[in-house]
Chains A and B, each alone.
Chain A
């Protein structure tokens, strides 16, 4: 052949332009939403919490191990918070693993990178589109968990006031706002875990380890949170906001750990995304057998994130007053006395007795951990406290005993040890019949970062 044939039309060659981000985003979203796994997750997140909360709220046996679990048959808002607490422990890291942890690896499995690159012509835009699409799906899943839990609780129990973690009552409107705010707050650590998922997906290619990276990280961090770590280390971990939202349910709100947790989460989100972006742009897409490599993951992902933890610990240790575990005798006494006073008022109302204010009660607590041979600080189930109060017009001082199980994250369960008519029995006899005794067992929360009050 010696002659050249004219091309279709006579268009001059035009430099290839990358595809816009919006169509790429829509394409990535369509790919994600067309997967049965994602559809099932969406269905589960929008239905299962409602069914669970409705079913459990109507039972006599409640999940008291979970924060707010013991209030599930008292108010519909407690159900949403039980779902939130469970989600923070397991569901959200798992969801991020299944969505963000697979969004890049899926292309490796399908062998579609070359096709996608030829179509989009910009690895940068592919990264942005995939990141945004996985974030969108995650938001849909989280919204489903929140909405479903709230609807299930309200439908089964009703829109009633919620007792906070210091015993104060939140009116239904306040409870609604605070519950929604708590769900919004956990979006930050969710995004951080999603970024880790992206990083794992980029770094490890089709290897299943990429998918597992957020779930594994969550498991390791959960175990770490169970240990009596210094508060600076605990707060510097990216899952601290998964716990710190509980501080919204005290008055005043314990905003210190929450704000730091949110900041740490956002820093992790940015850092992990940036690492994933850098790895992605450096990848050789002509290598179809790409499976990531252990060395690459360690150098490009694990080491920078470990360095970030060290840096964050240093900053928090310097910038906050907290030392040690953050669980001090004085803070615990204050927290217990406050919660007791609020819940005493609640019990008073149940019993139709004359109302008293917290100031009139003047409740105080005296705590001891494990007897005289043990320092009165740190987590443990060997805290024993005596709460004292007095009623207006009465000269005698009332006292009640509590055994406290304080966990390293600042949560404690106060278990009433008598007297029976105050806090020693799980029910109280009201004019309308037997009712749960709010002073028998209750949850509280210590602000780990607050400075220790003078005893």
Chain B
């Protein structure tokens, strides 16, 4: 993290943003605060309004209602966002007949970011790990390489607000490493980053705060740690040296239930046991397994706490079993 300045306005302040496309309400009273130096995740099911919100931040569209301030400047019309905002939505816009270097050089000259000349382009390419293919046409690039080049294009502008839509799409582990390092580095230098992703592991690794959208409304906004705590009981998969004994011990552990089905991801692995319960109950099970001389080979949540919370809040999938009362209380907490 960089230097702290509590007096500065946030990089993004949105209040009651609404946006409709005909009869379809894309955003319905959305509030959003993103401070400098923060990587803010935007998650939600398809059609939740993420791309629309990111488009507003980039100035590609204007909100129908509400108030939006970007880098301290009120934004009231399209393409009127202040200098220092960069990024992409719906994938980076690249020209396949041009090389990676030509794409970036053209962008640099358009945005008058070419004060650093070729050095700036080379630096950006190096940061995202594309130096070796700088003079190759983008036509032959994989999706991951295009994503990295799109990020390099954004880096050229030395942004103070970086807006990225699904930046991890198509990335291999090396590419992901590059992208994560670049985003973390930008945030450490004080750049506000807003990114959307469907990959909860990416969000957990990168974001300090997340906003969850569902059908155009904010259903959660806050630190990732708080969101993880919202997950309540989780499913855990266990792999032990004695599955029968483990099953018995799990059934006897207070607060823990053995899930009726096997781990969906490991249907063929008959030795895997799936249990559901709070973290203290799982801890107790581990103690009992050790005492019984059962070796614990693997213990992991079936879905990450973040993902579980996401599924629960958006109702997008099979969430941990929770009572209606618990759900209501959680929603009230979020409000």
Residues of A at the B interface (CB closer than 8 Å) are: 1, 3-8, 11, 13-20, 23-24, 26-27, 30-31, 34-36, 110-123, 285-288
Contact = CB atoms under 8 A, between A and B. Distances in A.
Interface in B70-98: 71-73, 79-98
A56 to B, nearest CB: 35
B2 A34 contact: no
A8 B191 contact: yes
Tell which of A3, A14, A26, A285 has the most Cβ of chain B within 10 Å.
Answer: A3
Given A5-B3, A15-B83, A110-B96, A117 B60 contact: yes
Given A1-B209, A13-B73, A114-B89, 17 more contacts: A4-B6, A4-B7, A5-B3, A5-B36, A6-B5, A8-B190, A11-B160, A13-B71, A13-B72, A13-B84, A16-B81, A16-B82, A23-B109, A27-B106, A30-B102, A34-B102, A114-B55
Contacts of B209: 1
B61 interface: yes
B80 A16 contact: yes
Interface residues of B, number: 61
B253 interface: no
B94 A7 contact: no
A285 B93 CA distance: 13
Given A118-B60, A285-B60, A286-B60, A7 B36 contact: yes
Given A3-B4, A16-B79, A35 B60 contact: no
Q: Which 6 A-B pairs have the closest CB atoms?
A: A115-B93, A5-B37, A112-B93, A34-B97, A23-B109, A19-B110
Contacts of B3: 5-6
A111 B5 contact: no
Interface of B is mostly: loop
B47 interface: no
24 contacts: A1-B209, A4-B35, A4-B36, A5-B4, A5-B38, A5-B190, A6-B2, A6-B5, A8-B158, A8-B160, A14-B83, A16-B85, A23-B106, A27-B109, A27-B110, A30-B102, A31-B95, A111-B90, A114-B93, A118-B60, A118-B87, A118-B88, A121-B79, A285-B60
B267 interface: no
B35 A110 contact: no
B82 A13 contact: yes
A225 B173 CA distance: 64
A190 to B, nearest CB: 25
Contacts of B136: none
B111 A19 contact: yes
B274 interface: no
Contact of B97 (A8, A35, A115): A35
Nearest to B79: A121
B107 interface: yes
B1 A5 contact: yes
A17 B83 contact: yes
B112 interface: yes
A263 B260 CA distance: 83
B169 interface: no
A16 B58 CA distance: 11
Contact of B83 (A1, A13, A116): A13
Given A114-B55, A120-B110, A7 B10 contact: no
Given A1-B208, A8-B191, A34-B97, A119 B111 contact: yes
A4 B98 contact: no
A286 B55 contact: yes
Tell which of B7, B93, B190 has the most Cβ of chain A within 10 Å.
Answer: B93
Given A5-B190, A7-B8, A11-B84, A115 B59 contact: no
A6 to B, nearest CB: 4
Contacts of B158: 8
Nearest to B75: A16
A286 B89 CA distance: 10
B4 A119 contact: no
A15 B77 CA distance: 12
B11 interface: yes
Given A7-B190, A8-B190, A114 B58 contact: yes
A35 B95 CA distance: 10
A5 B187 CA distance: 9
Interface in B33-84: 35-38, 52, 55, 58-61, 71-73, 79-84
A293 to B, nearest CB: 14
A122 B78 CA distance: 10
Nearest to A26: B109
A8 B190 CA distance: 5
A180 B268 CA distance: 80
Interface in B130-179: 153, 158, 160
B192 interface: yes
Contact of B88 (A6, A8, A26, A114): A114
B202 interface: no
Contacts of B123: none
Contact of A6 (B73, B90, B112, B190): B190
Given A13-B71, A31-B95, A110-B93, A1 B59 contact: no
Tell which of B7, B11, B37, B209 has the most Cβ of chain A within 10 Å.
Answer: B37
B60 A15 contact: no
Contact of A4 (B37, B60, B81): B37
Tell which of A11, A120, A286 has the most Cβ of chain B within 10 Å.
Answer: A286
A285 B78 CA distance: 10
B82 A14 contact: yes
A287 B89 CA distance: 12
A31 B137 CA distance: 12
A34 B82 contact: no
A365 B37 CA distance: 92
Nearest to B95: A31
Contact of A119 (B7, B11, B52, B110): B110
B250 to A, nearest CB: 38
Contacts of A19: 110-112
A53 B1 CA distance: 71
A34 B107 CA distance: 16
Nearest to A116: B93
B301 interface: no
Contacts of A7: 8, 11, 36-37, 71, 84, 160, 190-192
